[in-house]
């Protein structure tokens, strides 16, 4: 079973500090759940935009899946296409 960590995305949205925290979590975990709070635009289109921004920053070794208002980001050993 993969180690799972959780992070909350609040009203400030995706900042450099948030991205640094996310990268820090991936040093010890394979999967990070990003919970999008109501204060951070509770809109499904905005959640998709957040997911794309996170993946663009992290690189090709990462994939994401959106379930409700949670973005599940997974780190793979090999780069994905």
Q: 41 and 22 in contact (C-beta within 8 Å)?
A: no
Segment 20-55, tens digit of pLDDT: 999 999 988 999 999 999 988 778 899 999 999 999
Residue 74 region by backbone torsions, left for phi larger than 0, else alpha for psi between -120 and 50, else beta? beta
Query: Which residue, 11, 69, 71, 8, is CA-closest to 40?
Result: 11
- In the chain, the domains with their CATH numbers are 4-75 (3.30.110.60)
Q: 33 and 54 in contact (C-beta within 8 Å)?
A: no
CA torsion 28-5-31-46 (nearest 10°) is -130
**pLDDT mean over 76-80:** 75
**pLDDT mean over 64-74:** 95
Q: With 70 as the cut, is the pLDDT of residue 1 above it?
A: no
Predicted model pTM: 0.89
């Amino acid at each position: 079973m993969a180690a799972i960590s959780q992070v909350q995305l609040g009203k400030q949205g995706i900042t450099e500090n948030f991205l640094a925290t996310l990268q820090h979590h991936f040093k010890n975990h394979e999967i990070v759940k990003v919970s999008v709070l109501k204060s951070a635009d509770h809109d499904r289109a905005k959640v998709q935009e957040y997911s794309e921004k996170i993946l663009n920053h992290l690189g090709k070794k990462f994939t994401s899946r959106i379930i409700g208002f949670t973005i599940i980001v997974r780190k793979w050993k090999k780069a994905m296409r």
